[in-house]
Amino acid sequence: MTFTREELVALARKVDPGMPETIERDGLRFTFGQVYDDMSVMDHVNECDCYGKLAWPVTSRWDPYGQERRPDGFTGAARKFGSTPMHDTIWWEPYRDDTKVYDSPEEVRFMRELLDWGFIGLTVTVERIEACGKWHVAANESLWGIESPTIGDGNYDYLAEVYDDLLAQAMHEMKETA
């Protein structure tokens, strides 16, 4: 069972977190989903060097004015993002490769959007009809830590590629259990 690249891109554009898309084909039911990742953006970013580092503002309990300062280890390249409805005030130290600091306006905009929209997981569930005539989950695959498609151009080609890989894994799992 295969889906064309165009079908998978269209699915990636259509599926929203909490609103999976189900397609029946060749006696199987395929459900494509997106789920908000339960791991915080800060944890994801700090586990991957490519994003830089995030930290909460630091206040000294000895400062009578309670002013926030840059976190320890953050350089002059660090940026302080003010709070939004999606996150509190947070510091971002951009990724650095020797002398190059990755803090272009596009990279700053990307990090702001990442802080607001976070990461998702993609899921593919394949069901088949069992002897009693009811649908039964035959395979379920997922991949987590994917940048939300609400960021930038939506990275729908990448999401389609992930769906394709998850489908291949699910179909392989079904062959092994058949």
pTM recorded for the entire structure: 0.84
pLDDT tens digit sequence for 3-17: 999 999 999 999 988
CATH node for 5-37+118-177: 3.10.450
Average pLDDT over the chain, rounded to whole?
90
Burial 121-156 (b: 16+ CB within 10 A, else e): bbbbbbbeeeeeeeeeebbebebeebbbbebeeebb
State which H helix or E strand residue 112 sits in. helix 105-117
Q: What are the residue ranges of CATH 3.10.450 in the chain?
A: 5-37+118-177
pLDDT tens digit sequence for 59-96: 877 777 777 888 999 999 999 998 888 888 999 999 98
Alpha carbon distance 21, 10 (integer Å)? 11
